[in-house]
Chain A
């Protein structure tokens, strides 16, 4: 059972374009929604995160849009650059059985072409 559904699995965007990755969740107990960026040969690294009491968060060219009623959130990469080519994972965390756990989406492989 996939608790965090992520799409698309792969994405090709031209340099300067907008990259959009979407995620949806079912568990309303999720209270923290991070995005991770992973370059080949490296582990994922936290990119940006949002809490459900905020509808949008922006850090540089990266923006998270959050729709609590629809249980959806998305990552927008403005002015996409070849250096943004990586795999992006959305995630959600919640307390489960007294412990906080993080559930990841399946990942989106982004390729930004010059």
Chain B
């Protein structure tokens, strides 16, 4: 069964902390994505990657960075967490050429205090 695993379900951090959100997929997918989900705003794309060591900015990349050292793993980094980054973060993956068919993890609810 297809699986995208996010390392933490809930995370509480302090303002200014460096935060790492980890995502692993076991489907050998080329594409990986990070979205944030906020009520009334839907899903907004932060960063995506089409290959190892490759990254592209999404619609809201400010305050975030990413790392993809291995095909199966895609990390989202908040260099200095701020309260407006409190959100649900969703990782997704897809096959190359099938971007519309996304497989999502269960999400990480991040609270920045």
Measuring CB to CB, which residues of chain A are less than 8 angstroms from any residue of chain B? 6, 9, 32-34, 36, 41-46, 49, 89, 91, 93, 97, 99-107
Contacts and interface: CB of A to CB of B under 8 A. Distances in A.
Nearest to A107: B42
B102 A6 contact: no
B43 A89 contact: yes
B102 A102 contact: yes
A11 to B, nearest CB: 15
Contacts, number: 61
A32 B92 contact: no
Interface stretch (B13-21, B69-77, B78-86, B103-111): B103-111
Nearest to A49: B100
Contact of A46 (B35, B45, B102): B102
A43 B7 CA distance: 14
Contact of B101 (A46, A89, A97, A104): A46
Interface of B: 4, 35, 40-45, 48, 50, 56, 58, 90, 92, 97, 99-107
Contacts of B105: 43
25 contacts: A6-B42, A9-B40, A34-B101, A42-B107, A43-B4, A43-B92, A43-B104, A43-B105, A44-B43, A44-B90, A44-B102, A45-B104, A46-B102, A46-B103, A49-B100, A89-B43, A97-B56, A99-B48, A99-B50, A99-B56, A100-B100, A101-B48, A102-B102, A104-B43, A106-B42
Given A43-B92, A43-B106, A44-B90, A102 B42 contact: no
Contacts of B99: 93, 99-102
A49 B45 contact: no
A3 to B, nearest CB: 10
Contacts of A107: 42-43
Nearest to A41: B106
Max count, chain B CB within 10 A of own CB: residue among A49, A89, A102, A103: A102
